[in-house]
Amino acid sequence: MNFRSLTRGDGVVIGAAVLLFIASFLDYYSLDCDGPFCGKADIPNLWSSKVFPALPSIVLAGLIGAALIVASRFQPQERKVLGLSLEQWGSALAVFAAWTTLWTMFNGPLEDTNDKIGVGIGRILALIATLLIAAAALLIQKVPALKAPLLGAPTPQVQSPYGTGAHPGYGYPGPGGQAGGSFGGQPYGAPQQQADQTGPQHQAAPQPAGGTGGGVPAAGAQAPAAGGSDFAPFWFAVPVGRPLFPEDGGQTPVAELTPGTWYLAVDQRGQALVAQTQDGRRGVLQDTSGIQRG
- Taking the model in full, what pTM does it have? 0.51
CA–CA separation, 197 and 226 (whole Å): 14
Q: What is the predicted pLDDT for the residue at 63?
A: 95
Query: What is the percent of the chain with per-residue pLDDT over 70, rounded to a whole number?
Result: 64
Q: Which of these, 85, 98, 32, 27, lies nearest to 59 by C-alpha position?
A: 98
- Looking at per-residue pLDDT, the higher value among 47 and 144 belongs to 47
Distance, in Å, from the CA atom of 31 to the CA atom of 122, rounded to the nearest integer, reads: 13
What is the rounded distance in angstroms from the CA atom of residue 125 to the CA atom of residue 264?
46
Integer CA distances (angstroms), 265 to 211, 232, 236, 277, 285, in order:
46, 9, 7, 9, 9
Q: Which residue has the higher pLDDT, 17 or 279?
A: 17
The arithmetic mean of pLDDT across residues 216-240, rounded, is: 61
Interior/surface letters 157-184, b for 16+ CB within 10 angstroms, e for the rest: bbeebeeeeeebbebbbeeebeebbebb
In angstroms, rounded to a whole number, what is the distance separating the alpha carbons of residues 218 and 252? 53
What's the mean pLDDT in 191-211? 45
Of 2.40.50, 2.60.40, 3.40.50, 2.30.30, the CATH number of 172-187+231-294 is: 2.30.30
Confidence of residue 148 (pLDDT cuts 50, 70, 90): confident
Do the domains at 3-147 and 172-187+231-294 have one common CATH topology? no
CATH code reported for the domain at 3-147: 1.20.140
Could you read off the pLDDT of 78-124 as tens digits, one per residue?
Answer: 667 787 888 889 999 999 999 999 998 886 666 656 667 888 899 99
62-78: string of b/e by CB count within 10 Å (b at 16+)? bbbbbbbbbebbeeeee
Average pLDDT over every residue of 221-236: 61
- Average pLDDT (173-201) is 45
Domains of the chain, by residue range, sit at 3-147, 172-187+231-294
What are the start-end ranges of the H helices in 24-108? 54, 61-71, 86-104
Mean pLDDT of 219-247: 70
Number of Cβ within a 10 Å radius of residue 151: 16
Contact criterion met (CB below 8 Å) for 290 and 277: no
Q: Point out which residues pair with 180 in neighbouring strands.
A: none
* pLDDT for the residue 17: 95
- Residue pLDDT, tens place only, 159-176: 444 443 444 444 555 544
Residue 209 pLDDT: 44
